[in-house]
Structure 1
Amino acid sequence: MKLTPGKLAGLKAVSDARGVIAAAAMDQRGSLQKSIGKERGSSADAHDLEEFKVLVTETLTKHASAILLDPEYGLEAAKHRNGKGLLLAYEKTGYDAATPGRLPDLLDVWSVRRLKEAGADCIKILLYYTPYEKTAVNDLKHAWIERIGDECLAHDIPFFLEFVGYDAQGGDEKSLEYAKKKPEIVSGSMAEFGKARYNVDVLKVEVPVEMSYVEGTKSFKGEKAYTRAEALQHFRDAESMTHKPFIYLSAGVSNPVFIETLELAGESGTKFNGVLCGRATWKDGIAIYAKQGPDAFKAWLETTGVENIENVNNGLKAASPWYLKYGASSLAELG
């Protein structure tokens, strides 16, 4: 694998001095709007989303290597990122629930060219994916990712692909049954999108286990899908599916659960390359913002929010530099 100058520059821009991606995520749109509205008891508007993103960005980027934002509500926040790297989301929020297969869509008035012109160092796409979906549905998704990969290649900018698994049969993704399927869903997705044809540079992946079902962890709730030893092996098995750099997403879990997850990844010996962590750092502040306003939220971010992200950074001691996946022993060696 050889990195082009633009891809190398983009990856360096979002990494820390070690070559680890310690990025914060703040590209939530529809879900954030609903959460603020629910806590407030009245609907949230575009101003709320923009203000929330600015507050998170200006505080947390002091402790992160980069921030992931969306171009719909996040461009003002991008001006407050303390000189750190910028990833911009290219997909529309959510998916059309009326259509089977959770099909994705791109933002209407954006392209990779335009995102790069807006200051993006890297492009991020979220895709709902399971290897167990109907072939016709996954064929559409594969072609879609090929197009985006080629677009990023043409504009010489790194492509981060985030895939989130689901139950193709419509089952509950929080259930014990789904927890048992999850290792294969994550591993199968990593194997697919690590293929050269997609031109993905960094895979943003879920951890291959559901922590509340891992026996012998603090997160365990009493129903077992895997022993601790089996969970550790699932981490190793997922890693073996790709040669590409990969980072973990926090998937909306609490800060303590995500920290324990990173500890488990470290214990397994998995050479993961960082995180793109959103809700595990700022989710608990939504109620503060909604009920007490921006000043109270800023005060919360500067204390609890910073503590949360420092916990994540501490968990990243187990991470490995992404440049090792390119056969380099230092960033300087890549140019």
Structure 2
Amino acid sequence: MAKFQMTRGKFAGIQACANENGIIAAAAMDQRGSLKKAIAKARGSDASNADMTAFKTAVTRVLTRHSTAILMDPEYGLPALEHKAPDAGVLLAYEKTGYDVNAGGRLPDLLGEWSVHRIKAAGGDAVKILLYYNPEDEARINEIKHAFIERIGAECKAIDIPFFLEPICYDESMDDKSLEFARIKPKYVTAYMAEFSKPQYGVDVLKVEVPVNMKYVEGTRAHSGETAYTREEAKELFRSAAAVAQKPFIYLSAGVTNEVFIETLELAAEADTPFAGVLCGRATWQEGIPVYGKQGADALEAWLEEHGVANITNLNNTLAKGAKPWWTVYGGKDQIEVI
């Protein structure tokens, strides 16, 4: 059987974001608008750009000592990267935060002053794009999104840097935290994992949502009382989504608590899902926002040293038991030919 061919820059960039065993245990700190609002709410007054950089710097300084990589935005976060652990990889976000609520279709856009070339020059080991995606949206909307991802894939190929794609499913007709949405989420997640595994997009790693909402999984600690799926059904949904992926994939925490995210990963491991790790943000550090808002950067750093490190240590212990190397999808590291 022919080996999977991967260029030197792509291989080195993915591995820079993983540990020696091929597991990606990365921290996400690219939040922008949502973080600024959360800091302002905690403080009771506006948050400045300097507040954003200070928060990101504290998280980077403390958590990259326990992470394989950090995902950062170039708008507020570049100064924070000067404080990362030396062996932590860097993923840089290329998309503008949010979307135009008046345009319809949650269409993506790029940071106007950035390019993949500039991301690599700024020290990025990989490029990350977030894309809101509904596989059942009108064809015109999805064709725009498909072409958008194809262009970024081509740009990453030209610069020889890995492309991490983060699709987020949505449906304008329902609340994404509702029981109704929980029932259709597995179909949407599975569809986008299949779609963006296609070679024309040039995606190297998929950063995906878990296909279930743990709040509606019967028999879990996170169960709210309402049920969309039994525990066995949930495990089968994990397996079904994983089965269509032709690229390595990692899970995002999607704003849940550390406890819920760990239980989610335990369920994924129980289902023998070949996820290659995580890109975890708020589940690790979100409870530090009120600390920063009320007491400042030094207090946040002290909180991170105790609670943030505990959160990420629990996460790393869970990954050690359940995650598979990113090269598993290719049949093993020895089945990749670096060219």
TM-score by length of 2: 0.97
Aligned-partner Cα distance in 2 for 1:42–1:330: 55
Q: Which runs of 5+ in 2 are unaligned?
A: none
Q: Residue 167 of structure 2: SS of its match in structure 1?
A: strand
Partner of 1:140: 144
Pick from 106, 110, 116: which aligns with 2:110? 106
Partner of 2:60: 57
What is the number of residues matched between the two proteins?
Answer: 334
Q: Residue 302 of structure 1: SS of its match in structure 2?
A: helix
User: Is the 8 Å Cα contact of residues 250 and 258 (structure 1) preserved in structure 2?
Assistant: yes
Partner of 2:278: 275
Once the two structures are superposed, residues 85-125 of structure 1 have per-residue CA deviations (whole angstroms, 9 ceiling, x without a partner) of: 00000000111111111111000100000000000000000
1:129-208 to structure 2, matched below 5 A, reads 129-169=133-173, 171-208=174-211
User: Is the 8 Å Cα contact of residues 91 and 104 (structure 1) preserved in structure 2?
Assistant: yes
In structure 2, the CA distance between the partners of 1:118 and 1:212, relative to structure 1 (3 Å rule), is same
Residue type matched to 2:304 in 1? L
Q: Which piece of structure 1 moves more, 96-105 or 254-263?
A: 96-105
Q: CA deviation at 1:235?
A: 0.1
Q: What's the % identity of the aligned pairs?
A: 60
Partner of 1:18: 21
User: Is the 8 Å Cα contact of residues 95 and 104 (structure 1) preserved in structure 2?
Assistant: yes
Q: CA deviation at 1:334?
A: 5.2
- Runs (4+) off by over 6 Å: none
Aligned-partner Cα distance in 1 for 2:136–2:216: 22
Q: Residue 64 of structure 2: SS of its match in structure 1?
A: helix
User: Is the 8 Å Cα contact of residues 5 and 336 (structure 2) preserved in structure 1?
Assistant: no
Aligned-partner Cα distance in 2 for 1:166–1:323: 29
Pick from 91, 96, 103: which aligns with 2:95? 91
Pick from 99, 110, 123: which aligns with 2:127? 123
Partner of 2:296: 293
Residue type matched to 2:270 in 1? E
Partner of 1:78: 81
Once the two structures are superposed, residues 138-158 of structure 1 have per-residue CA deviations (whole angstroms, 9 ceiling, x without a partner) of: 110000000000000000000
Residue type matched to 1:266 in 2? A
Once the two structures are superposed, residues 229-288 of structure 1 have per-residue CA deviations (whole angstroms, 9 ceiling, x without a partner) of: 000000000001112100000000000000000000000000000100000000000000
User: Is the 8 Å Cα contact of residues 5 and 337 (structure 2) preserved in structure 1?
Assistant: no
Pick from 26, 29, 41: which aligns with 2:44? 41
Q: Residue 2 of structure 1: SS of its match in structure 2?
A: strand
User: Is the 8 Å Cα contact of residues 209 and 254 (structure 2) preserved in structure 1?
Assistant: yes
Structure 1 vs Structure 2 CA RMSD: 1.3
Residue type matched to 2:59 in 1? V
Aligned-partner Cα distance in 2 for 1:80–1:133: 42
TM-score by length of 1: 0.98
